[in-house]
Structure 1
């Protein structure tokens, strides 16, 4: 009981429920390991008793929680304080506000609680500006307390009216100007065309976070080196202003690189080669080193210096890691011991010795930021109501830049994953170190705020992968099976408040990927704060009743409605059963092929019959293009604020971009957008595609301009 009580005080679960009505205990060894990662010693009964005494004493004496959240406008103070308590708020932007908590205006309240009544909110709270402030209180009997105070609007803004747009993995969208994979120039071109010609209100892309360099580089955009800074592999080299001023022998070398890049592009588009991120980066790195030699003009130099000043220590750390990784390898755990500490004297000395490379990587971050801004401006100029939707991965690579620079914020020896459930009895280990909730709170959520602010600089909306991680994450101790993990809770109110605050400041929409197992109350809490959910056609059923497809009018309005995602079969593959055949070819089926085919065909037939009854399939069954249009007509019947078209659906692509459960068996994250025959298509091909325009007529007919 002592261990369970100690775990509860630190937000560590000692049981979990893999399915309704089933509760399983968490191994004591797991609880002890997780507590140790939070600097709580529970290794012996004596240690448990000592830690429990300290934790309970601290909880009993605590006048304030670590973080106080005030949602404005609010009818009541965010915390109940004794009458006469002196409140001092040091504002984020400078200055202070002070007042004394008044006596309760509710008769009898003082006798029953001794604290301010919820109906008696003093003006001091209501007049605070939005921000992350420091709260100090002192009671009449001289008890003192300090906390972080997050003041946020009660909800983030949602799109006005119905908005539709495209979902695409940027690397997969090559144009005739790409260097072997889609880039930020292509993104700007896509947004300009989609907004102006098709009335699209947004384009959602995969995470553009900086990857961990390697041979080969992990192609997954969801296991990055840094979530704080984008990857310069997405740069359009020719769009860098200094590119035009490369002269002499450097120009000859640069032109040769451009020719080689054309060869990479041709290999992907015409010869069936996979997207080779490493080959693209090798050429771009050489090109960028040539472009770097061109001196910045006075205006450009001033803009670069402003960027350096704005990004501060975070950028310096990131660029230092990049420079050190070029010398010592991409996993900082294998570096010389002194360099594993970003604040050591040896690291400072190495930074000075590698100053030119550190500056080079800072410059790359700036150039990438500029092109992100240009793509965002293109979306705005095209009349997009939302603009570019950027994606935030749930975590970072343990050997990467963020994990090195922010070691104190990550739980050592732990990995994020998922518990066993009805779909995966073995659970999952994603290999991503989790943030420590206690360190986040103690730092006033500085790493989290910096991350959000960086991503929202040029975003019309932000999608959070596995948004349930704001509430709790499944921690798996190093060396343990995923089944031996446990949930660790975060201060969801504080995490949400910071998210809403930063999105409000950026004028951005927030989308949470809430697919899969979601604990009760999470979707409601997200909705209350304006966060849109994610609803996928094939998963929306009346699970509590008939089990049949959920009627369109019963869908939630606060969501992005889609037919599929990057981890699921395309709509053409789903309708034709190609996804079953693919999994069979790869040996991924756990049941006989005919049984899988029979069940899949029955599900598709059920949906097509339903679409026909609703009058959404005038083309009749058997015509693939008509069936796909019917799926999107259905999505437009729902009240969803945003409707997303998986761009490969528009041209009949049958291949998933990622096939969960595979590694080298399938080319995850390396396929270009293709037609129904598997022929790669350029952005120019897409813009001229009769099939795409026929699908988009569905949106024009519904007046669904975003």
Structure 2
């Protein structure tokens, strides 16, 4: 491809070809990788003539619109309107109608040429002008609509006015908060069915509120695949708007104690043998759990329908709209096809007539399987009710935030989100990360990215819907890989490895504005997971927008290799010792993650592994020095990390040490209080390690009765109160 054309296409698509990596070294994206990415974006890289025609078509798609489809503007600045016209249209008078969110209607007459000329382009022999007009209106933050008529054609714009700053509770000025992060599926109890559920969550919230915690952080609880329960990664969901039905406490569903048919199912000897087995396993058997839950859920749905119309459920279905219907339809159709042939893992490999949700075959299936669709809608209704109940338990118990939810960065290729909106996603590429300390070879997450221009054309509605759904029944929301607001590492399917990608940019100011608006409306604090390769200035921009930073102790090192004192962490941040992608405290100290990585073949050679071991031993000594320096360990405790195993004293000292952080929020991992060693997830693996399956080593009833854990949590609460 001609170099000038390639450069023009790269610039048009917002692709970054030069960046600084996680070690601060400059990197240039190889020409072949640039071409692979352009090809993934739909350009013919083998024929310059065709590629130029494709570029022109996309440029005209923008310039032939009188109004931009969406405009996001801060509330504290003058309101403006951008118009795109060809030269003859520049002098034609127009009437603008503004419809505000609260129902007011305003009109104003304007002529394009009377505005400020901000851009001129020549496309296909036609000259186009862009004019900016200042509008005489003061609008509150919210979602408004602009309408214009031209030559009998109506143009509309979603005008989004934003508050500029995410929500922050007034109580933040009074004391610092702390909480516990947990993987909901990993909770064990005497009553659950082999997987943590919303009732276990409510019980955990009550206990933690009583010891002074203000929140519980959850793994993403997005909808997965009921037909394929083993596809269990919470970060590769089917839908981020709906919930994982496996977390439903079946015994808390309506009719469980009244339905005779259900009683016959759950009281059978075989059922109880399976139930006892599921509770005994150290790793979640997702298929086994769903084999227990789904038949009982179906029985209870039948009981529910026999009771007659339920107003609350009818309202839920109405409010859920097309999105809920599509998610339920997907689950019903997926189950139908997967039972016939388990090669039908997702819509990309379904029979052709089912790959479009609007096809005649799909509509016919929907008509014939209304009961199945209603069943999956009902499960979403129950999941939402049980989640809302858990949040209410937290608030009633005195927690400031209650649930702290997690929004995954994307969905899997087999997802209902992509099935229903394929134009939004680039299926020939995947989100990932360039090489960094967490993934030295780079990472490919298998998640097709949203296309920035398509997101813009859809008026950012997919993002608005996601934020609303995930801020519901939550006091805080963690944005996984918050850098996605600015840029994402796209790995084309044609690339040789995860390093063969490039960054693609997104409209960060628009997305931050929408994030702030939804945060304020839902009264949800926003935490941005700002790890990995972070460009200069982005943390400050996020901070200015009220997004809380995410500071991991193991990564907070000074230039001399020592560990930064938690007292020097930024106030607008959440501090944590470790994460779901890192080893537990004991795993880190004993280098279990490095030994496991060696077994799994994650390192390129022995030299790299030995370098990592040497670095770890140096880090351990630095940590021990820091703990002694801050006097969180007794004078008599060993000062050399050599041959020093991690005991409870050292484990709890680290947690108390971070509790003195100046950060507003502190999040600790429940498995560290239980002194567990095995990790939740090993990045860079899929089937090599049982990711997203490991349960806690103790039942709720056990660890909540542990006096030493109780004392640790009380001490942490006291330290947070001191700040």
Normalising by structure 1, report the TM-score.
0.88
Residues 347-379 of structure 1 show CA distances to partners (whole Å, capped at 9, x for unaligned) of 111100111111111111111111111111111
Separation (CA, whole Å) in 1 of partners of 2:61 and 2:382: 49
Is residue 2:366 matched to residue 1:351? Answer: yes
Q: Counterparts of 1:402-413 in structure 2 under 5 Å?
A: 402-413=417-428
Separation (CA, whole Å) in 2 of partners of 1:587 and 1:36: 32
Whether the aligned pair in 1 keeps the contact of 2:193 and 2:275 (CA below 8 Å) is yes
- Bigger Cα displacement from structure 2, 181-190 vs 153-162: 153-162
Partner of residue 182 from structure 2, selected from 168, 172, 176: 168
The 1:15–1:148 alpha-carbon spacing in structure 2 relative to 1, beyond 3 Å, is farther
Separation (CA, whole Å) in 2 of partners of 1:274 and 1:501: 40
Q: Counterparts of 1:461-610 in structure 2 under 5 Å?
A: 461-481=476-496, 482-542=498-558, 545-584=559-598, 586=600, 588=602, 590-591=605-606, 596-610=612-626
- Bigger Cα displacement from structure 2, 229-238 vs 259-268: 259-268
Separation (CA, whole Å) in 1 of partners of 2:588 and 2:480: 23
Partner of residue 639 from structure 1, selected from 644, 650, 662: 662
Query: Helix, strand or coil for the counterpart of 2:304?
Result: coil
State the match for 1:613 in structure 2. Answer: 629
Give the superposition deviation at 1:166.
Answer: 0.4
Partner of residue 277 from structure 1, selected from 280, 286, 293: 286
Partner of residue 77 from structure 1, selected from 54, 65, 79: 79
State the match for 2:28 in structure 1. Answer: 24
State the match for 1:194 in structure 2. Answer: 208
Whether the aligned pair in 1 keeps the contact of 2:429 and 2:448 (CA below 8 Å) is yes
Instruction: Give ranges in structure 1 of 5+ residues lacking alignment.
Output: 103-108, 674-679
Residues 259-280 of structure 1 show CA distances to partners (whole Å, capped at 9, x for unaligned) of 2454134422xxxx42211111
Separation (CA, whole Å) in 2 of partners of 1:3 and 1:112: 26
Partner of residue 255 from structure 1, selected from 262, 267, 273: 267
Query: Helix, strand or coil for the counterpart of 1:564?
Result: coil
The 1:77–1:508 alpha-carbon spacing in structure 2 relative to 1, beyond 3 Å, is same
Separation (CA, whole Å) in 1 of partners of 2:117 and 2:300: 74
Instruction: Give ranges in structure 2 of 5+ residues lacking alignment.
Output: 84-89, 120-128, 339-344, 639-645
Query: Helix, strand or coil for the counterpart of 2:435?
Result: coil
Whether the aligned pair in 2 keeps the contact of 1:13 and 1:26 (CA below 8 Å) is no
Separation (CA, whole Å) in 2 of partners of 1:313 and 1:58: 27
Is residue 2:700 matched to residue 1:687? Answer: no
Separation (CA, whole Å) in 1 of partners of 2:225 and 2:161: 36
The 1:21–1:659 alpha-carbon spacing in structure 2 relative to 1, beyond 3 Å, is closer
The 1:264–1:130 alpha-carbon spacing in structure 2 relative to 1, beyond 3 Å, is farther
Separation (CA, whole Å) in 2 of partners of 1:154 and 1:682: 44
Separation (CA, whole Å) in 1 of partners of 2:357 and 2:391: 33
Give the superposition deviation at 1:486.
Answer: 2.2
Give the superposition deviation at 1:414.
Answer: 2.1
Is residue 2:272 matched to residue 1:286? Answer: no
The 1:618–1:77 alpha-carbon spacing in structure 2 relative to 1, beyond 3 Å, is farther
Separation (CA, whole Å) in 1 of partners of 2:34 and 2:266: 56
Give the superposition deviation at 1:648.
Answer: 0.9
Is residue 2:709 matched to residue 1:701? Answer: no
The 1:684–1:60 alpha-carbon spacing in structure 2 relative to 1, beyond 3 Å, is same
Give the superposition deviation at 1:553.
Answer: 3.5
User: CA RMSD of the aligned region, Å?
Assistant: 3.4
Partner of residue 656 from structure 1, selected from 676, 679, 682: 679
Query: Helix, strand or coil for the counterpart of 2:15?
Result: coil
Separation (CA, whole Å) in 1 of partners of 2:233 and 2:118: 57
Separation (CA, whole Å) in 1 of partners of 2:153 and 2:284: 63
Partner of residue 131 from structure 1, selected from 122, 125, 142: 142
State the match for 1:311 in structure 2. Answer: 320
The 1:510–1:78 alpha-carbon spacing in structure 2 relative to 1, beyond 3 Å, is farther
Partner of residue 349 from structure 2, selected from 331, 334, 349: 334
Normalising by structure 2, report the TM-score.
0.86
Query: Helix, strand or coil for the counterpart of 2:690?
Result: coil
Whether the aligned pair in 2 keeps the contact of 1:4 and 1:14 (CA below 8 Å) is no
Give the superposition deviation at 1:93.
Answer: 5.5
- Bigger Cα displacement from structure 2, 199-208 vs 416-425: 416-425
Give the superposition deviation at 1:68.
Answer: 2.1
State the match for 2:12 in structure 1. Answer: 9
State the match for 2:329 in structure 1. Answer: 320
Separation (CA, whole Å) in 2 of partners of 1:615 and 1:37: 55
Residues 1-49 of structure 1 show CA distances to partners (whole Å, capped at 9, x for unaligned) of 2221222123233444445342313435x54554455555555222344
State the match for 1:676 in structure 2. Answer: none
Whether the aligned pair in 2 keeps the contact of 1:389 and 1:461 (CA below 8 Å) is yes
State the match for 1:428 in structure 2. Answer: 443
- Bigger Cα displacement from structure 2, 414-423 vs 338-347: 414-423
Give the superposition deviation at 1:497.
Answer: 1.9
Separation (CA, whole Å) in 2 of partners of 1:37 and 1:66: 25
The 1:421–1:64 alpha-carbon spacing in structure 2 relative to 1, beyond 3 Å, is farther
Partner of residue 223 from structure 2, selected from 210, 213, 236: 210
Separation (CA, whole Å) in 2 of partners of 1:155 and 1:23: 34
- Bigger Cα displacement from structure 2, 381-390 vs 80-89: 80-89
Separation (CA, whole Å) in 2 of partners of 1:418 and 1:112: 36
Separation (CA, whole Å) in 2 of partners of 1:350 and 1:338: 11
Query: Helix, strand or coil for the counterpart of 2:257?
Result: helix
Whether the aligned pair in 2 keeps the contact of 1:632 and 1:698 (CA below 8 Å) is no
Query: Helix, strand or coil for the counterpart of 2:325?
Result: helix
Separation (CA, whole Å) in 1 of partners of 2:499 and 2:590: 35
Residues 271-319 of structure 1 show CA distances to partners (whole Å, capped at 9, x for unaligned) of xx42211111110001111112213587971110000000010011011
Q: Counterparts of 1:149-168 in structure 2 under 5 Å?
A: 149-159=159-169, 160-161=171-172, 162-168=176-182
Q: Counterparts of 1:362-373 in structure 2 under 5 Å?
A: 362-373=377-388
Whether the aligned pair in 2 keeps the contact of 1:92 and 1:131 (CA below 8 Å) is yes
The 1:21–1:665 alpha-carbon spacing in structure 2 relative to 1, beyond 3 Å, is closer
Whether the aligned pair in 1 keeps the contact of 2:652 and 2:673 (CA below 8 Å) is no
Q: Paired residues, what number?
A: 680
Whether the aligned pair in 2 keeps the contact of 1:555 and 1:639 (CA below 8 Å) is yes
Separation (CA, whole Å) in 1 of partners of 2:434 and 2:389: 41
Separation (CA, whole Å) in 1 of partners of 2:590 and 2:550: 24
The 1:42–1:51 alpha-carbon spacing in structure 2 relative to 1, beyond 3 Å, is farther
- Bigger Cα displacement from structure 2, 253-262 vs 50-59: 50-59
Separation (CA, whole Å) in 2 of partners of 1:176 and 1:153: 47
The 1:231–1:261 alpha-carbon spacing in structure 2 relative to 1, beyond 3 Å, is farther
Whether the aligned pair in 2 keeps the contact of 1:67 and 1:494 (CA below 8 Å) is no
Separation (CA, whole Å) in 1 of partners of 2:186 and 2:594: 23
